Amino acid sequence: MTTTAIDYEAVIGLEVHAQITTRSKNFCSCSADYANAAPNTHVCPVCLGMPGTLPVLNRAAIEATVMTALALNCEIPLHSKFDRKNYPYPDLMKGYQITQYDEPLSLNGWTEIDDGNGGTLRAGITRVHLEEDTARLLHRVDSVTGEPYSLVDVNRAGVPLMEIVGEPDLRTPEQARQYLLKLRQILRYLGVSHANMEEGNFRCDANVSVRPRGSTTFGNKVEVKNMNSFRAVFHALEYELDRQSTMMAAGERIPMETRGWVEGENRTVSQRSKEEANDYRYFPEPDLPPVVLTPDWIEGVRAKLPELPDAKRARFVQRYGLSPHEADLLTDSRARADYFEAALADADPTDDAARRSLARAVANWMLGELARLQNAHGDEIEAVKVRPQHIRELVAVIEGGAISGTQAKDVFQKMYDTGEAPGAIVEAAGLSQISGTDELAAIVAQILAAHPQPVADYRAGKQEAIKFLVGQVMRATKGRANPESAGALLRDTLGG
Amino acid sequence: MLERKELSAVELTESVLARVEAVEPSIGAYVTVTADIARVQAAAADRLRAKGLGGPLTGIPICQKDVLATRGVRTTCGSRMLEDFVPPYDATVVRKLQEAGAVMIGKGNMDEFAMGSSTENSAFHPTRNPWDPARVPGGSSGGSAAAVAAGEALGATGSDTGGSIRQPAALCGIVGLKPTYGRVSRFGLVAFASSLDQIGPFGRSVHDCALLLQAMAGYDANDSTSVDAPVDDYAGALSGDVRGLRLGIPEEYFTADLDPAVRACIEEAIADLERAGATIVRGISLPSTPHALAVYYIIAPSEASANLARYDGVKFGYSYHDGGGMWEDMERTRQHGFGDEVKRRIMLGTYALSAGYYDAYYLKAQKVRTLIRQEFDRAFERCDLIVAPTTPTVAFRLGEKSDDPLQMYLSDIYTIPVNIAGLPGMSIPCGFAQGLPVGMQLIGRPFEETTLLRAGDAYQRLTVWHQRRPELAAMEAGS
């Protein structure tokens, strides 16, 4: 970091491009799912830009964009349109990109992020608009002649892309990272994008300038590209903050330019000057009528919004008594949050204490052993074999005193490896249950004799008391009894 | 005749193909003659007719303007750039006409990328006017118009961005109709100016045009600008009755630029229609008309500059390679692949859209465009159709205007406002001046092609202009 006498702060605004996971491309019926396809197999005359072909807008992409914009608290104008952005490049099939210039689908939003200092920051969203992706260029070198050449893969061309333009509200590389994490989380919650930076379906360009802390003016901004991970964004911005601060401290003028992050070298290099603005000669796309939305339609999309991460986190804290940190972790992805709640599915809704107690136990398993094993195996929650109800069962087995904490971890490991229910594992592992009624009956008799108060409670009509007695049977048998058989036998013996 | 089985589709097609062979050396209406396809389609048409099936176009030989994509048949757009381009798809109009049973004789010559008014801008050869081979057939659909006029096809398709159907129809003495913007799908029409381009038919009679339009019109899910409105029964609407129809005469279309002999023909035609019972409404005013040309030469080149950006030699069409690197190859491809007029318009459009000029040119042009539309709307409160000349003069000589783009542009002053406003317009033969055909233009309200056709057909029932054949044609036909 900078060691200059004046304290500098960064002013950062991020532009994020996220591929939308629609079935077909934005303007033709080609499949947009080309991840595992051979080059140039998801193409047609339209996305190849052949003469005479015309774009037809994918309604699903509009809905996904509007849904995202609503999740980012944007205004949705009733009228928007598409424009042509003209620039020649071999990855651009038509010689122009269909995008939205001055009338985007949404405007003026915000999202709340962790400010990296224990507080929150409301980061402005300038706009979310819909456009099309370009083809992919593959640069090669001829193995014989050593001549460089390029190949074009058109599979990606025309895939719907939403551009999320952020206000320059971020002040540190960490805030930029938090902002990206938040966007990714929301996109994944909505199910509108895979939002995976490494796979290239979530891309980030950063505009960054520096200024003395406390100043309200903006310095010359530098655009940084080629960042293919969250880590890269963080380090590239740290590098820029340092580089620009040093230059500013030395009284140098910071040129407006585009710089590229060089991964292996941990630095940015100048790519081209932006002192003279590019002229993209935008004009309204005559092949597509304007998009006219109705308030009813927009409200319909709003109604489809799932519970968003912030709301879910707050609810988890309130309803389950989790700490904000636990709630944060459990709501990290929608799948994880759903898993958590599935494990609590049949908790008594009227019994707060029981629900919280179960929630605590499930959270502990999920954030402890499950998370540890997931990390070790690199498994996403969706790929985990342990069923949510098995965690609940495991908690019951433990509460019943059937197995020790150490045993429970071994059982969980087996659950993770095999996907089997905890009961089955306990049995197979020689922690097997007593099935002979005679043996069990003897133990039941002992337990009843030893605990007159619960017996009296049960006889007085307090059904709950049986749970305690079952627990005692389980403890006495070291978990080898079948809790259901034990319960039945207890009731019989007590003349239930 | 086909319906009465006096003539088979194969016989008709063979006679047209023979005609093509005989007159093409002096006319040059076609870029590509598709005799093999025509014969197969004609045979299929006869089989259909033998079963008592098919419609009015089954077996009818037509010329497709080479701006329309034809699957498996090269589609040049009159350009070196697409000299060997064979599309893997049919334009919607091509498919629809095929489904209606029409027989494709070939692909009609045209000004490169439909930019021009004389067909002299074809990269391959000029087309000559059948009425006088020293003169142009008009453009850009000159090949289509000349083919119909010379008997090399019974009907044809054209595309009209600023008059490219109506102007050659007028100059070749046939009927040409530009439908309302959105009435006919543009899918497969190689784009020149997307917000102005519209495909339409050519025929010797209004009735023929009605039949062709019937097959061509309608909503197409592949063209988002095509309009999902019912298609009228065009031929069925030809009642021959124009009584009570209010014909507006806009003074701005009868200016000093108008050749007095042409003007006389138009006035005569108006009198004929009045005698047939139409009401003439004089003093219709379209005051922004003089600005239409300027508006057009901002909007059309602007859109063209983007539409033609895809021709870079990377993906299809002509490609220049000399190892000078990607950018140099792309530049040279465009340098050699495009003709002068195309380059001129790409430069005009690029300039008009540039930062700092956009507001002054493109945006201003769009505002005037709105004004022109509104003026037409107001005019149509007082009349049902507007009657005007199609062109200020009859056909000019080859080479006469080719060195003076502005003079060339002025030959479209009466047709351009109709594209700017997106209205339907039709040119029908209404006499001769200096021995050359004169066209009268009818302009209608949006999607009221029926009214145009009804008035035009009524006029043709009263007159014989459309029955005249060029001498060249008569001579060959008689031989």
Q: What is the pLDDT of residue A484?
A: 75
Helix axes A437-450, A483-493, angle to 10 degrees: 60
In a domain, B315, yes or no: no
> Which one is catalytic: B118, B144, B164, B185?
B164
Taking CA atoms, A438 is separated from A434, A435, A466, A482, in Å, by 10, 9, 20, 14
Q: Is B330 on the interface with A (CB under 8 A)?
A: yes
Q: Is-catalytic flag, B239?
A: no
Q: Among partner residues A51, A57, A90, which is closest to B314 by beta-carbon distance? A: A90
Active site residue B164: yes
Residue pair A474/A403 in contact by the 8 Å Cβ criterion: no
pLDDT computed for residue B478 by the predictor: 38
Cβ of B69 within 8 Å of Cβ of A54? The answer is: no
Across-strand partners of A112?
Answer: A122
Copy the structure tokens of residue B4.
Answer: 């009465």
User: Mutate which of B66, B75, B353, B369 to test chain A, going by most A C-beta atoms within 10 A?
Assistant: B353
Q: Which residues of B touch A52 (CB under 8 A)?
A: 68-69, 75, 87, 89, 91, 186-191
Q: ipTM of this predicted complex?
A: 0.95
Question: What is the enclosing helix (H) or strand (E) of A31?
Answer: none
CB pairs under 8 A between A and B: 107
Domain that holds residue B115: 9-286+374-478
CB count within 10 Å of CB B119 equals: 33
Residue B343 lies in a domain: no
- Residues A75-95: pLDDT tens digits? 999 999 999 999 999 999 999
Could you state, in order of their start, the residue ranges of all structural domains in chain A? 8-132+158-301, 307-428, 437-493
Residues 38-97 of B with CB under 8 A from A: 68-69, 75, 77, 82, 85, 87-89, 91
Please list every residue in chain B whose beta carbon sits closer than 8 Å to the beta carbon of residue A150.
Answer: 326
Residue B322 included in any domain: no
With CB atoms and an 8 Å threshold, state whether A52 touches B91: yes
Question: A48-66 burial string, b = 16+ CB within 10 Å, else e?
Answer: bbbbbbbbbbbebbbbbbb
Question: Per CATH, is A437-493 categorized as 3.40.640.10?
Answer: no
Min distance A41 CA to chain B CA atoms (Å): 15
Q: Is B45 in contact with B58 (CB distance < 8 Å)?
A: yes
Alpha carbon of residue A290 to chain centroid? 32
Taking CA–CA distances from B316, the nearest residue in chain A reads: A50
Residue of A nearest to B361 (CA): A283
Q: Which residue of B has its CA nearest to A148?
A: B325
Asked whether B112 and B311 are in contact (CB, 8 A), the reply is no
Cβ count near A476 (within 10 Å): 18
Q: Which amino acid is at A280?
A: Y
B140 is an active site residue: yes
Residue partners of B31: CB distance under 8 A and separation at least 6: B66, B76, B78, B106, B107, B108, B109, B110, B122, B124, B143
| B141, B142, B143, B146: CA torsion to nearest 10 | 130
Q: Are A374 and A416 in contact (CB under 8 A)?
A: no
Interchain pair B189, A287: CB under 8 A: no
The CA distance from A168 to the nearest CA of chain B, in Å, is 25
Rg of chain B (C-alpha set):
21
Instruction: Tell me how many domains chain B contains.
Output: 1
For B89, nearest residue in chain A (alpha carbons) = A45
CB contact under 8 A, B306 and A96: yes
Candidate list B8, B65, B178, B185, residue with the active-site label: B65
Q: Is residue B276 assigned to a domain? A: yes
- Strand, coil or helix: A70: helix
CB of B306 within 8 Å of a chain A CB? The answer is yes
Residue with tokens 């095999």: A418
Q: How far is B70 from chain A (nearest CA, A)?
A: 11
Task: Please indicate, yes or no, if residue B112 is contained in any of the structural domains.
Answer: yes
Domain of B388, CATH number, reads 3.90.1300.10
CB contact under 8 A, A281 and B355: yes
* DSSP annotation string for A208-244: EEEEETT--S----EEEEEE-SHHHHHHHHHHHHHHH
pLDDT tens track, chain A, 496 positions:
445 467 899 999 999 999 999 999 999 999 999 999 999 999 999 999 999 999 999 999 999 999 999 999 999 999 999 999 999 999 999 999 999 999 999 999 999 999 988 899 999 999 999 999 999 999 999 999 988 888 999 999 999 999 999 999 999 999 999 999 999 999 999 999 999 999 999 999 999 999 999 898 898 999 999 999 999 999 999 999 999 999 999 999 999 999 999 999 999 999 988 877 789 999 999 999 999 999 999 999 999 999 999 999 999 999 999 999 999 999 999 999 999 999 998 777 788 888 899 999 999 999 999 999 999 999 999 999 999 999 999 998 888 766 777 778 889 999 999 999 998 888 776 665 555 667 788 888 888 888 988 888 888 888 888 888 888 887 887 767 777 778 888 888 887 5
Nearest to B315 among A86, A93, A96 (CB): A93
What span, in angstroms and rounded, lies between the C-alpha atoms of B120 and A110? 58
Q: Which of B8, B117, B122, B140 is catalytic?
A: B140
Query: Which residues does A contribute to its contact with B (CB < 8 Å)?
Result: 45, 48-57, 84, 86, 88, 90, 93-96, 150, 152, 277, 279, 281-283, 286-289
Q: Which of A365, A473, A480 minimizes the C-alpha distance to A429?
A: A480
DSSP character string of B143-161: HHHHHHHTTS-SEEEEEES
* Cβ–Cβ contact B328 with A under 8 A: no
Please report whether residue B92 resides in a domain.
yes
Give the nearest chain B residue to A86 (CA atoms): B306
- Interface membership of B32 toward A (CB under 8 Å): no
- Residue in this structure with the two tokens 């030699």, named with its chain if needed: B313
Nearest CA-CA distance, residue A94 and chain B, Å: 5
B314: nearest CA partner in chain A: A90
Asked if the structure places residue B311 within a domain, the reply is no
The per-residue pLDDT string of chain B (479 residues; one tens digit each, 9 = 90 and over) reads: 565 567 999 999 999 999 999 999 999 999 999 999 999 999 999 999 999 999 999 999 999 999 999 999 999 999 999 999 999 999 999 999 999 999 999 999 999 999 999 999 999 999 999 999 999 999 999 999 999 999 999 999 999 999 999 999 999 999 999 999 999 999 999 999 999 999 999 999 999 999 999 999 999 999 999 999 999 999 999 999 999 999 999 999 998 889 999 999 999 999 999 999 999 999 999 999 999 999 999 999 999 999 999 999 988 899 998 878 888 999 999 999 999 999 999 999 999 999 889 999 999 999 999 999 999 999 999 999 999 999 999 999 999 998 888 888 888 999 999 999 999 999 999 999 999 999 999 999 999 999 999 999 999 999 999 999 998 744 444 33
What is the distance of C-alpha A447 from the center of its chain? 50
Residue B24, both tokens: 């093409």
A-chain CB neighbours of B314 within 8 Å are: 90, 152
> B187 lies in a domain?
yes
C-alpha distance from A111 to closest chain B C-alpha (Å): 33
